[in-house]
């Protein structure tokens, strides 16, 4: 059974890779830094990881994860699914994005989990054909805001 599942996963991964080579760069991965309000008082610094896959009609789906710390005992982890729309078409330029996921607060060895919902807007600057830089801002619940920049590669 394990061999069958592994074989199916390898065939699927090969097909996705062939599809992206034939159709151009459809997927992107990026990392970055963020300044946000994931703290009871003052602000927090965070690291961001994002993966998205381009769909027709200037849409993209994927996930992002942010890990923030206020440097005085509160760490917040935010895994979320994303749906993005590029205003100018293609998979670059001005966008708006909806995020939906979990908001996990680690404080004094306690874990509290809440629903996360947010809106993000930014601009994906395409550099050459495979690289990008993406400044953005976001608002949502239960955090108040976040401002950051990503750098990544399309494949």
Cis check: omega of the bond before 27, within 30 degrees of 0: no
Q: Write down the pLDDT at residue 91.
A: 82
Q: What is the dihedral of CA 59, 86, 123, 132, to 10 degrees?
A: 50
Write down the pTM of the prediction: 0.81
Rounded Cα–Cα distance for residues 71 and 89 (Å): 40
Q: What is the pLDDT, as a whole number, of residue 41?
A: 80
- Identify the pLDDT of residue 129: 80
pLDDT at residue number 15: 44
Q: Residue ranges of the chain with pLDDT lower than 50?
A: 1-9, 11, 14-22
Which residues, in sequence order, are bridge partners of residue 124? 93
What pLDDT does 33 receive?
98
Domains and CATH numbers, the chain: 24-154 (2.40.160.20)
pLDDT on residue 23 = 59
- State residue 128's pLDDT score: 84
Lookup: tokens for 21: 């080579």
Q: Give the span between the Cα atoms of 125 and 118, in whole angstroms.
A: 22
Instruction: Specify the 3-state DSSP secondary structure of 21.
Output: helix
């Amino acid at each position: 059974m394990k061999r069958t599942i592994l074989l199916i996963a390898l065939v699927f991964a090969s097909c996705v890779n062939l599809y992206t080579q034939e159709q151009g760069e459809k997927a992107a991965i990026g990392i970055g830094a963020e300044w946000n309000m994931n703290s009871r008082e003052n602000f927090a610094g965070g690291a961001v990881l994002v993966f998205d896959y381009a769909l027709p009609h200037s849409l993209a789906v994927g996930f992002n994860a942010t890990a923030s710390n206020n440097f005085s005992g509160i760490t917040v982890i935010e895994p979320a699914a994303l749906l993005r729309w590029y205003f100018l078409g293609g998979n670059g330029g001005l966008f708006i994005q909806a995020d939906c996921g979990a908001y996990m607060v680690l404080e004094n060895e306690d874990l509290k989990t809440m629903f996360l919902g947010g809106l993000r807007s930014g601009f994906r600057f395409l550099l050459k054909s495979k690289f990008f830089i993406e400044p953005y801002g976001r608002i949502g619940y239960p955090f108040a805001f976040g401002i950051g920049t990503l750098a990544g590669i399309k494949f």
